[in-house]
Every structure is written in C-alpha cells, then in structure tokens.
Structure 1
Amino acid sequence: MRDRDHVAEIDLVLRGQATGRDGIVSDSWRRCVEHYGLDPARPSPAHIVTDAELRSHREQSERLIAIARSGLDALFRQVAGQNYVLLLADAKGVTVDFFGDTRFEDDLRRAGLYLGSDWSEHLAGTCGVGACIVTGEAVTIHQTDHFDLHHTPLSCTAAPIFDTSGQLAAVLDLSLLRSPQPKASQSLAMNLVRASARRVEMANLMAMTRRDWVLRLSASPEFLEVDPEAAIALDPEGRIIGLTHAAQAALGGSRPLLGQRLDQLLELGVDDLPDLMRGRPTEDRLVRLRDGRSLFGHAIAPQTARLPRGLPLLPGGLSSLAGADPAMQRMLSRAARLACSGVSLLIGGETGTGKERLARAIHMCLPRPAAFVALDCAGQDPAALAAQDWTAGATGTLFLRRVDDLCPEAQAVMLRQLATTRLRVIATSRGDLGQMVRDGSFRADLFFRIAGAALHLPPLRLRQDFDWLVDRLLRGGATDGLRLTAAARSDLRGRDWPGNLRELAATLDTASLLAEGQVIDQTDLPPALLALPPAADPDEDLRAILDACGWNMACAARRLGVNRSTVLRRMQRLGLTPPG
C-alpha cells in the first residue's frame, strides 16, 4: 500500500467508515489522531530513551527481567533462523530486554526493535506493544495496521504479562522487519508469545510465593505438572494472595479473586491441598469448581525448609527482602503490621538500598487487586504536578519516589493534591527528611501528611545477611548456577558498597561475564567504582560494621579503609568486645 493510500484509509476510519481493519486497529487509529494529535502523513523515527532513562526502566524491571530471561532465551532459540526479534517492554512501553540477530543490529536500531525503544501508543502510534498496553490483550499489528508510516514494513505480535496481583507488568513482543503479506502468517507467533507470557507469569508467581501454598491448574492431566495453564497462591487460611492472569479468567471472570477463599471457588479447602501433590496420578487429581466445571490440580507446599531457621513468615513479597539480619527482620515485621493499615509510610535509606522494592512488597500485601501509582518527585514541575488526577483511585498505593527532591513550590502543590486522593501514600527519601523540616527546606505539614510511620533500610555495608543477599542475586538471570570462590566472597564482604544492592547486583552481573565456567573468582570481580569518603567520626558505626562483618577484624578494616591494628585500638578505646 502506498503512503497516501494508507493516510486515506486512516481518514476513512476517522469518518466512521468500515475498511475491513480489526476493531483494535481502528480504535487505535482514532486514539492516535483524536487523543494524541499524531499526523499519519508525517512519519517519525523510532523513539529511543536516553541511557539514564533506560537504566532507570531496567532497574525497576530487573526482577522480572531475571525471571523471564531463561524462558525468553528458549523462545528466541525456537524461532532462530526466521529473522524474528524478541522484545520485553515494561508497562510503560520501553524495551528493557532484547533478543535479535546482531548481523542486522543497525537495521533493528533504526526500526526501533532494540533496547531502549519506547513503543507507547502516544509516541509510536498504533503498534504491537502500545495496543497491548491499552487493551490488555494479545494483538498482532501487521504492516499497514501500524499508524506511523515509519513502521508499516513491520509485523509485531505482542502479549501482556501480568503480575501476581493482576496488574500489567510487561509486554512480550515478537517482531519482523519484513514479513509475508497475509496477517494470518503470524498465527504461530501469536501462539508462541501467548504461551511464553503465560510461562513468565507462572515463573514469577512461583518465585514470589515460595513460602505459600500454590495450586496449579490445567484442563488436561497430561500437562498438569510440566506446563499448567493457571495458578493461584494461598495463605495459610486459604485466601488467594497471588495469581496468574489465566487463573483470573478461569476462576473469577470479571470478579476479582485476590482475597477470596479457595473453598468459595472450588469444592475443596486449603487442608485438602496435600491430596493434590506429586505421588498421585495426575488424572486422579480432579478438582470441581462451584459452578460445576472441573479442572486438574497440582498443589505445591510452602518451601519452608529453605528458610533460615528462626525467621518469621511474612506476607506478600516481604519475606524475600532479607535473610538472617535482626535489624531487617524487625523492620519487615513492622512493615507487615502496617501494610494493610492505610497509614502513610515514609521509607528512608541510601540510594540502592531497595526502597521501591519494599514499597511494592508492602503494596502486594493488600488483600485484593489495587492500583500502584508511581510518581518520581525529582525535578517535578509544579504545574505538571497540579495537573495530576488521583481522585479516581478508590484503593491502592500512591508511591512518591524521592520526595525529598520536591522544590518548595512543588511541595505546596503536593500537599493540596494529597488532600484529594484516597490512595494510600508510600514515599521514599534518600536524605534525612526530619532534618530538612528543622532546616526549613521541607514543609512540616507535608512531612506529617506522608510520614504517618517511618521505615528505614540500612545500607548494605551494615547488613548481616550479606551472604544471603549474594546467593539470592546469583539465582536467576545470567548469574544463575554460578558460585563464588572463598576469595571472591571475602573481597565482596570487605567493600563499602556506596551503591548498595544496585551496585552489588551490577558487580555480580559483570563478574559473571568475565568468569570462565561456573565459578566467579576474585580476579573476575570488577574494581569498586566509587569508595565512600572517610567518616567524620572515625568511630562512627564501628559496632554496626563489626556486626555486619561477623566481628572479622580484617573485613572491618577493609570497609573502613584502615589497617587491622587501627580497628583493634578503636575497639579498646570504646570498650567493644566480640559477642559471647
């Protein structure tokens, strides 16, 4: 189709005339012109975010990227030789992971089929990722289905990936630079992305709910244990605390399932789940729904044996945030008690300590699906902030990232805006917000509005579960299956980690690329990029650092940047002795 014919067809759709296009495509064309003000006669190149923006998007999606990696790698191998490109975009439409043939890298970059490309509909027009985000459905946008003339050679098939609370988390897209003319030629691509998205959701649910009962469901006993269609996670009382999108469709329809009791949906309760575990023929594991239908069920018991002894069971994703660190466990227990209270929370801590992860884990404790509305306060324009509309949300979380970066004018607007919302506020701050109030650089009335209760994440250098964190980061993604030598582990323990968990994850990722085989040695570790300046008080946090190092003098000396004898002298002066 020539360019002017394409523009003419879009004009026909805008005038309400049928052209034979899918309803999803026609609706998207109308949005492109009427809502976004896009011009079909003016092609625009691919929208690529900056490196800093890409890092931010990848950091927010790093957990899902790691979980999805092996499945996406398998999918890409499955279509190898057919010139497909595989993209994983976040819920905002930015490509955060990519699989493609490096021989065509320049062509893929120009087409936007590459890392960092933004496929949100308001920028790219009608496209696979953008239409999938808007509709929440799997779609194929084939050649001239695309709104923008720059994209009409492409064929893009996309499927949504939902998180365990039913919110859109990502989009999986399988695209071709050039494809056969019939749209039906992409039916195999559609089947592949749907199946892969379902498996990513399943893997995500299993990773998030290791301490809970999981019931996996299938219409066929043959695939029940190897490739089930749906799954739900349950708390000890049998309430649903997580699910895959297929489970919502199979069991709930339009009725939300989170918080529902298992025995309200199926003719069995949580005490009956052991009868559906391995060891019994799959064809005998029939479960009946209250509406008369039947499915086959496979129950997986909580993996409590893997927990460090003595750690409490915490709801939602809170259990996955710390190992045997007393300060972290006290903080997480407090977070669990506050999670469903509606009290506004202020989370403090250095850059990279995991403040947003904690906020999302608290949000996941809610008993039913709810929105998670995130706002980055850094550089927030007061006028743009005043235009935000949070009045529609009846339940859910308003997450204010880096609230300490609000300018005075934006603070005043934020205070007025918060008076209009019923969303529960969780804010994060890198600095001491209380001191900023005392200094007059942060409004006291806004501080008390967002700080109903305060939680603080300690820096990595003071955490006593360092080895647990390292082992957890080594599971999944490119580092899965790798192990550290004693020398490498000792080197990591002795660093001061100004970038905290984010720096540790990046260090392990880099080391995995440099390592030969399955072992990371000390020589594979990249050097520390930034060292903390010496503390103004040489005795500052000495006990905490010694605790974090297990009272190993050499480790503490490396973190403090002094020799071992200096640590011993300071201990003697302060009267510090090893516990026990």
Structure 2
Amino acid sequence: MPDIPIALTGISGVSIASMDDRRSSHSANHAEKVAEIVASRSAAARSPVAASWVRSFHKYGLEPDAPGRTGRLSQSEVGLHREAIGRLFHVSQAVMDQLHASLGLAGCSVILCDADGIVLDQRLRAGDQQDFETAGLARGADWSEKRQGTNGIGTAIAEGRPVHVLRDQHYHTRNTSMICLGAPVFGETGKLAAVLDVSSCRGDLDAAFVALIAQTVEQAAMRIEAENFCRSFNQARIVQGTAEGQQGPVLLAVNGDDLVIGATRSARLHYWLDDAALISPRPAMDILGDQERRGMGLESAERRELRRALARANGNVSAAARLLGISRATLYRRMEKLGLLPES
C-alpha cells in the first residue's frame, strides 16, 4: 500500500500540508514577478523597488528564491562593529528604548545596523523573538542589500534615504512576510554611519499605522544624528540653519572665532560644504548668508565686538572697557564713531 500523507491541522483548521502548498505557490509567483521586472528595460527607471531588484540580481547575483540564510557574526565581532561607530551607538540607546516602548506591543522590533548592514543592537518583546530569529533579524546578521536583496536596511544604505519595504516588495521570497522601515543615520562627518529600522513579522498592521511608524522611525533617526553631532562638537556653538526639503537636521558647529568647523549632512548639501571647506573654515555669516552682517569689513567687526562687550557688561561702559582692555575714554570715542552712543 502506498504511503498516505497525513494532514496536520493547525489552529485555524487549515492543514499544514495545504499551507506549505500555498507558501510554495507564493514563492514561485514572487520569483516569477521578480524575474519579469529584472528582465524589463524600463521598470528600474519607474520604481525604486524595481531598481533595487535589478541591483540585487545583476550587481549582487542573488536569486529571489534561493534557500537558506547567511551566518551571523560572533558576539566579539559585533562588538568590533559597535566600537567602529563609537559615540553614535551609545547615543542611539535611549532613542531605541523609547521607540520600542511605543511600538513593541504591536509586535515591532527596533534595530540598529551599521553602514555595512550588520545588526548591532535590537529591541523586541520576548514573545516575538522566535519570529525574528526565524526571519534572520537578530544581532550579528548581515542585512546589506548584497546579502539580502531589497530590504528596509540594506536598500536604505544603498540609496542613502529612508526606505519602506513592505512584504512582497522584498527581493527574496523568504522575506516577503515582513515589513521593514529603515532610515539612515549620518555621522558627524556627513557620511552614512548607521540605519535605524523598525520591522514587523505580523500581517495585521494596516497602511495608516505603517505610515505612522515610518514617520516615527525617520524622526528618531534624525534625533540620533543631531545628538551625535552636538556631542561630537560639544566645545562649539551649534547653529541651526533653515533649509526646506532637507530630511535631516541642518546644523553647523561654530567655534569661538565664528568659523564653521562642522556640518551635518543636510547642512553640507544645503550650503554646498565639503570636507575641504571645513578644513579651511569659513565665517558662519558667509555661509548662513546674513546680509546685515556680511561683507562690511573691519568696521562691522569692531561694531559687533563692542556690542558684545557691552552686552556682557550689562551696558556698563567702564566694565565693557575693562573687558576690551582699553580705557573708558577710548571706548566712548569708538562708540561715538560707530554710532553706538544712545541718543540724548
């Protein structure tokens, strides 16, 4: 007598055999869809997801239905990757705790990866751990695009922007049950240093809630970036610029001589700053475009310095003169010349 397969029934009453058939069918359909998009000459230009699928296939040689996962780094190896991003890792801890406190009950995991896509840290509920372990989202795992194809972490790294990859938008069929919402975090030198990601293995998150999570992740990533920048230039004055359309914090670090010595990535993009411009610092007023103070020469500089001294001395001319190292009479003469004496 031939063997008769035994149908094992789950809680829903659907046999595990039929569930496996559905998964197999879904995997085949997804792989076919990816193959169709990859073969198209125009799809990559019309869709960021399609462009990532094309990279995954042509650049990295990945197959959408390939089985298995890559191994994880050891605890000591993860420690080396954490050390490499230094201060930013420590800055991220409180933000990750707050994110998980808000989203953990919804079955979401909060993940921090470095610019190589290595999972450095994670927040999740104990009851959800097995789901994420099965999905391969755990400390030490490599979620770069070259290893996993299109996903919220690796594609955010590849494109340097926030990325939302929802279920079937993933490249690999094995990842299509997940939602991955990643946002890049740029370091104090303007280079991509990490990705903050919130992922879910649950299928009951509606579109409105996913959109809210995505916005929250992007704001949290900007908080990490801004705090890391401020700590990196803790001896400098931090000036916030205004730039419409920039997704990250627009911050400048200004030294005691009013020269710009640091800038966030968004500030670099908006003010056309690069490493060379910061190695040879320029006055903050030139970069910020302060027309009232810009291009007025030594007289303008002297007027500003006298005003500062008077402000520090609360308007006391004798005290201001002592701060400047000049006589009271000299200060009065300079104030009269520069139009700083109060009208009688």
1:61 Cα deviation from its structure 2 partner: 2.8
Aligned CA distance change for structure 1 residues 219 and 267 (closer, same or farther; 3 Å): closer
Map of 1:133-152 to 2, 5 A cutoff?
133-152=157-176
Q: Supply the distance in 1 between the matched residues of 2:205 and 2:28 (Cα, whole angstroms).
A: 19
Q: Does residue 5 in structure 1 map to residue 29 in structure 2? A: yes
1:127 Cα deviation from its structure 2 partner: 0.8
1:184 Cα deviation from its structure 2 partner: 6.1
- Matched with 1:55 is 79
Q: Does residue 209 in structure 1 map to residue 233 in structure 2? A: yes
- Matched with 1:290 is none
- Matched with 1:241 is 261
Q: Does residue 98 in structure 1 map to residue 122 in structure 2? A: yes
2:141 alignment partner, one of 105, 108, 117: 117
Q: Which amino acid aligns with 1:159?
A: A
1:46 Cα deviation from its structure 2 partner: 5.5
Q: Supply the distance in 2 between the matched residues of 1:79 and 1:65 (Cα, whole angstroms).
A: 20
Aligned CA distance change for structure 1 residues 209 and 123 (closer, same or farther; 3 Å): same
Q: Does residue 266 in structure 1 map to residue 288 in structure 2? A: yes
| SS across alignment from 2:110 | strand
Q: Supply the distance in 2 between the matched residues of 1:150 and 1:22 (Cα, whole angstroms).
A: 25
- Matched with 2:13 is none
1:239 Cα deviation from its structure 2 partner: 3.1
Q: Supply the distance in 1 between the matched residues of 2:206 and 2:111 (Cα, whole angstroms).
A: 22
| SS across alignment from 1:93 | coil
Q: Supply the distance in 2 between the matched residues of 1:229 and 1:166 (Cα, whole angstroms).
A: 11
Q: Supply the distance in 1 between the matched residues of 2:207 and 2:277 (Cα, whole angstroms).
A: 35
Q: Does residue 231 in structure 1 map to residue 251 in structure 2? A: yes
1:74 alignment partner, one of 83, 98, 102: 98
| SS across alignment from 2:106 | coil
| SS across alignment from 1:81 | helix
Q: Which amino acid aligns with 1:138?
A: P
| SS across alignment from 1:113 | coil
Extract unaligned runs of 5+ from structure 1.
221-227, 276-580
Map of 1:341-356 to 2, 5 A cutoff?
none
1:249 Cα deviation from its structure 2 partner: 4.3
| SS across alignment from 1:79 | helix
Q: Which amino acid aligns with 2:177?
A: P
Q: Supply the distance in 2 between the matched residues of 1:22 and 1:49 (Cα, whole angstroms).
A: 36
- Matched with 1:188 is 212
Q: Supply the distance in 1 between the matched residues of 2:269 and 2:81 (Cα, whole angstroms).
A: 29
- Matched with 2:199 is 175
1:181 Cα deviation from its structure 2 partner: 7.5
The C-alpha deviation readout for 1:464-507, integer Å capped at 9, x for no partner, is xxxxxxxxxxxxxxxxxxxxxxxxxxxxxxxxxxxxxxxxxxxx
Aligned CA distance change for structure 1 residues 260 and 182 (closer, same or farther; 3 Å): farther
Give the structure-1-normalised TM-score.
Answer: 0.42
Aligned CA distance change for structure 1 residues 183 and 24 (closer, same or farther; 3 Å): farther
Q: Which amino acid aligns with 1:239?
A: L
Verify the 8 A CA contact 2:180 2:200 in the aligned structure 1.
yes
Verify the 8 A CA contact 1:94 1:117 in the aligned structure 2.
yes
Question: Which range moves more in the overlay, 41-50 or 11-20?
Answer: 11-20
1:40 alignment partner, one of 46, 54, 64: 64
Verify the 8 A CA contact 2:163 2:182 in the aligned structure 1.
yes
- Matched with 1:16 is 40
Q: Which amino acid aligns with 2:266?
A: A
- Matched with 1:128 is 152
1:164 Cα deviation from its structure 2 partner: 1.3
Q: How many matched pairs? A: 269
Verify the 8 A CA contact 1:9 1:19 in the aligned structure 2.
no
Aligned CA distance change for structure 1 residues 17 and 24 (closer, same or farther; 3 Å): same
Question: Which range moves more in the overlay, 102-111 or 179-188?
Answer: 179-188
Identity level (%): 26
| SS across alignment from 1:161 | strand
Q: Supply the distance in 1 between the matched residues of 2:46 and 2:251 (Cα, whole angstroms).
A: 31
Aligned CA distance change for structure 1 residues 22 and 130 (closer, same or farther; 3 Å): farther
Q: Supply the distance in 2 between the matched residues of 1:212 and 1:88 (Cα, whole angstroms).
A: 28
- Matched with 1:535 is none
- Matched with 1:408 is none
Cα RMSD (Å): 3.2
Aligned CA distance change for structure 1 residues 194 and 257 (closer, same or farther; 3 Å): farther
- Matched with 2:49 is 25
Question: Which range moves more in the overlay, 6-15 or 49-58?
Answer: 49-58
Extract unaligned runs of 5+ from structure 2.
1-24, 295-300, 308-344
Q: Supply the distance in 2 between the matched residues of 1:247 and 1:194 (Cα, whole angstroms).
A: 17
Q: Which amino acid aligns with 1:244?
A: T
Aligned CA distance change for structure 1 residues 176 and 256 (closer, same or farther; 3 Å): farther
Q: Supply the distance in 1 between the matched residues of 2:141 and 2:188 (Cα, whole angstroms).
A: 26
Give the structure-2-normalised TM-score.
Answer: 0.69
| SS across alignment from 2:199 | strand
Map of 1:258-337 to 2, 5 A cutoff?
258=278, 259-268=281-290
Q: Supply the distance in 2 between the matched residues of 1:35 and 1:81 (Cα, whole angstroms).
A: 38
Q: Supply the distance in 2 between the matched residues of 1:6 and 1:256 (Cα, whole angstroms).
A: 47
| SS across alignment from 1:104 | helix
1:80 Cα deviation from its structure 2 partner: 3.3
Q: Supply the distance in 1 between the matched residues of 2:208 and 2:29 (Cα, whole angstroms).
A: 22
Q: Supply the distance in 2 between the matched residues of 1:96 and 1:62 (Cα, whole angstroms).
A: 12
1:240 Cα deviation from its structure 2 partner: 2.4
Verify the 8 A CA contact 2:45 2:51 in the aligned structure 1.
no
1:3 Cα deviation from its structure 2 partner: 1.2
1:156 Cα deviation from its structure 2 partner: 0.3
Aligned CA distance change for structure 1 residues 255 and 5 (closer, same or farther; 3 Å): farther
| SS across alignment from 1:29 | helix
Q: Supply the distance in 1 between the matched residues of 2:215 and 2:187 (Cα, whole angstroms).
A: 20
1:187 Cα deviation from its structure 2 partner: 1.4
- Matched with 2:5 is none
Aligned CA distance change for structure 1 residues 44 and 185 (closer, same or farther; 3 Å): farther
Which has the larger Rg?
A: 2
- Matched with 1:429 is none
Question: Which range moves more in the overlay, 236-245 or 252-261?
Answer: 252-261
Q: Which amino acid aligns with 1:264?
A: D
Q: Supply the distance in 1 between the matched residues of 2:46 and 2:119 (Cα, whole angstroms).
A: 25
